[in-house]
Structures are given as C-alpha cells and as structure tokens.
C-alpha cells in the first residue's frame, strides 16, 4: 500500500491510497471495508468498479482509494504518475496517519 499526500498538487483530493488485493474477491472485500470506514468517519462515498473488482475506486472526497488486482495495478502504474517514490521518502503526514487508521478499521 502506498499513501500519497496530494495537498497542493491537485484539487481532486488531499490523500490518495493505492493498494493491491490478490483476487477480485479480495479487492471487493477491501472496497467494502474502506467504504464502511469512510462512512463511519462521516465521509460521503462513491464507488466505481465493483462488479468486476479489477480496479475499484473509492472516492471519499478528501481521500481517494484505488484498489487493484496485481496485474491491473502494474499496467496502470499510478504510483509513477503521482510521484509515489517522492511520497515514500517523506515523513508520514496527518493525512497518511488518518488513511492508515481507515485501513486498519
């Protein structure tokens, strides 16, 4: 899982999370868990890609979560597009800590 702090880099979100599930079933279960956690945190949630569960986008406004099967994640390579290597080198931000808390439920 990669957490990207995008504050000041885009107007679409503050935090982007990119994660991988081993199968369509696992990606779907992860999406359900993220949706539940975001709703419990008071976020309005929109989900796309659930029927196929190859790539599921969970839009929680301030946080966008991309959930992929491994080969789909490798194909789209969002980490490279958003400069994930730079984000990994930085210390965790408040958004990253909040995203981690959502991941852990």
- What pLDDT, on a 0 to 100 scale, did the predictor assign at position 81? 78
Residue range(s) defining the domain that contains residue 56: 2-104
Q: Which residue has the higher pLDDT, 48 or 96?
A: 48
| Greater model confidence, 5 or 104 | 5
Report the domain count for the chain: 1
pLDDT, one tens digit per residue, over 34-84 is 999 999 999 999 999 999 999 999 999 999 999 999 999 999 988 887 765
pLDDT at 25 over 90: yes
Say which CATH number the domain at 66 has.
3.30.460.10
Report the distance separating Cα 41 and Cα 60, nearest Å.
Answer: 10
Q: What is the pLDDT of residue 11?
A: 85
Report the b/e string of 53-85 with b at 16+ CB within 10 A: bbbbebbbeebbbbbbbeebbeeeeebeebebe
Q: Is the pLDDT of residue 1 over 60?
A: yes
Query: What is each CA distance from 3 to 16, 25, 51, 52, 76, in whole angstroms?
Result: 6, 23, 25, 24, 17
């Amino acid at each position: 899982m990669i957490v990207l702090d995008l504050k000041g880099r885009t107007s679409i979100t503050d935090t982007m999370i990119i994660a991988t599930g081993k199968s369509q079933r696992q990606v779907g279960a992860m999406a359900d868990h993220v949706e539940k956690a975001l709703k419990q945190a008071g976020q309005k949630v929109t989900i796309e890609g659930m029927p196929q569960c190859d790539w599921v986008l969970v839009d929680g406004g301030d946080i966008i979560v991309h959930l992929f099967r491994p080969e789909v994640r490798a194909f789209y390579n969002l980490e490279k597009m958003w400069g994930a290597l730079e984000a990994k080198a930085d210390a965790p931000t408040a958004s990253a800590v909040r995203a981690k808390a959502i991941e852990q439920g």
